Amino acid sequence: MNPPVSHKQLEGTVYMDNHATTRVDPRVVEAMLPYFGACYGNAASTTHAFGWSAKEAVDQARRSIARAVGARPKEIIFTSGATESDNLAIGGVAGRWQHKGRHLISVVTEHSAVLDPLEKLRQNGFEVTLLPVIQAPDDAAGRIRPEQVAQAIRDDTILVSVMLANNEIGVLQPVGEIGRICKGRGVLLHTDATQAVGKVPVDVEELQVDLMSFTAHKIYGPKGIGALYVRRRAPHVRLEPIILGGGHENGLRSGTLNVPGIVGFAKALELCMDEMPAESERLAALRNRLYEGLRARIPQTQLNGPALERPDWRLPGNLNVSFAGVDGESLLMSIRGLAASTGAACTSSRPEPSHVLRALGIGEDLTRGSLRFGLGRFNTPEDVNYAIGAVSEAVARLRRMSSLPAPPT
């Protein structure tokens, strides 16, 4: 068990784990504050001004979020986060559409919030096809080809689920092309867009998706609030709810709405949309600087995932690298003042190597020696310089230790 950490211990630490979560932007906090105090009503209370005020705030936020992703306000269903949204999308389709078929398609590199519900369905008699990805060291490593989906669809296929942007290697999948295939075959398409919304342009109509999961805490908003886009026209997607008790959110997700969180979600996404062009360029430059610095100072540094030169294939703030002969967990533990990760935060308690890197055909040594850097809004060139120095020194130190001769017996 890790010892408790004080706020002072966090001061001065360079944070590069923005795929796990992000710091809430002060402008988002400011927008949320009134809904913890003066405007604390329940949005479902229809008989007084406190409830009316809360409902208007929710309605306005819903309109703003819908506009940002090209949806209609009634197509945005608020949840507790992307994990719940993924479960509602997958479980909701399976529950409502199983009379048409019991076959689902996804990808081996999906987040556990998709893979685990699919496995649960498999145990309950559904069939699941997991598509392989392009192998390393191909420049497109981690991507799938749209024709793989076309070939996997069967007469009894009811759902395809393909992550828009991967949380470990930042790979962007060709979801728009896949969407057109699914539309032509009459199969619903879900995408986990948790890492994409607010970072790259996302439009549900251009992508031709029927369901899309995303969340606030990856885009400098609060934790505990997410959304599921559910198409209501051509086709009108119907889901079996997984949380009952009140009929909130068009009957799809019961529970008192998190009004401060919803307001913060909308503000966070609004800021991302306003700042996206300049921020994407800035983060890509910082990311490339970090990679070139690590590669220059650390022999046997390997890039994991698609080429950095293809912005249409990779998130601008993502870098995943492996260092031969070094354990990533040990590396992070030996570096003071740097917060990064060895993979998905949701699976950090599991000891096995990253399933994403293994799916790329990367060996266990390099998989265990990998680090994931997620650069974000509050990172600076000075942060990058510190990370280059701290990581290169730690790698050199660990490699020297591992090469020491055994002590005499």
Residue-wise pLDDT tens digits, 231-282: 999 999 999 999 999 889 988 999 999 999 999 999 999 999 999 999 999 9
**Cα–Cα distance, 320 to 168 (Å, whole number):** 7
**Cα–Cα distance, 148 to 337 (Å, whole number):** 43
Active-site annotation holder among 39, 182, 272, 346: 346
**Cα–Cα distance, 118 to 160 (Å, whole number):** 11
**Rounded alpha-carbon distances, angstroms, from residue 83 to 89, 212, 394, 403:** 10, 12, 35, 43
Chain-centroid distance, C-alpha 40: 30
Give pLDDT, residue 4: 64
**Cα–Cα distance, 341 to 138 (Å, whole number):** 24
Give pLDDT, residue 7: 59
Q: Average of pLDDT values for 146-171? A: 98
- The DSSP call for residue 102 is -
Q: Which amino acid is at 161?
A: S
Q: Which residues of 204-237 are buried (b: 16+ CB within 10 A; e: fewer)?
A: beebbbbbbbbbbbbbbbbbbbbbbbbbeeeeeb
Catalytic-residue membership of 346:
yes
In the predicted structure, residue 409 carries a pLDDT above the cut 50: no
How does the average pLDDT of the chain come out, rounded?
A: 94
Residue-wise pLDDT tens digits, 78-114: 999 999 999 999 999 999 999 999 999 999 999 999 9
How would DSSP label each residue in 172-212? BP-HHHHHHHHHHHT-EEEEE-TTTBTTB---HHHHT-SEE
In the predicted structure, residue 10 carries a pLDDT above the cut 80: no
β-pairing, 127-131 vs 103-107, is parallel
Residue-wise pLDDT tens digits, 321-360: 999 999 988 999 999 899 999 865 555 455 678 999 999 9
E-strand stretches of 260-310: 301-303
Q: Average of pLDDT values for 50-61? A: 96
In the predicted structure, residue 1 carries a pLDDT above the cut 60: no
Delineate the domains of the chain, giving CATH numbers in brackets: 9-24+276-402 (3.90.1150.10), 27-269 (3.40.640.10)
Q: What is the dihedral of CA 288, 370, 392, 399, to 10 degrees?
A: -150
Give pLDDT, residue 141: 98
**Cα–Cα distance, 256 to 74 (Å, whole number):** 17
Element (H, E) at 324: none
Q: Is the dihedral of CA 162, 165, 167, 169 positive or negative?
A: positive
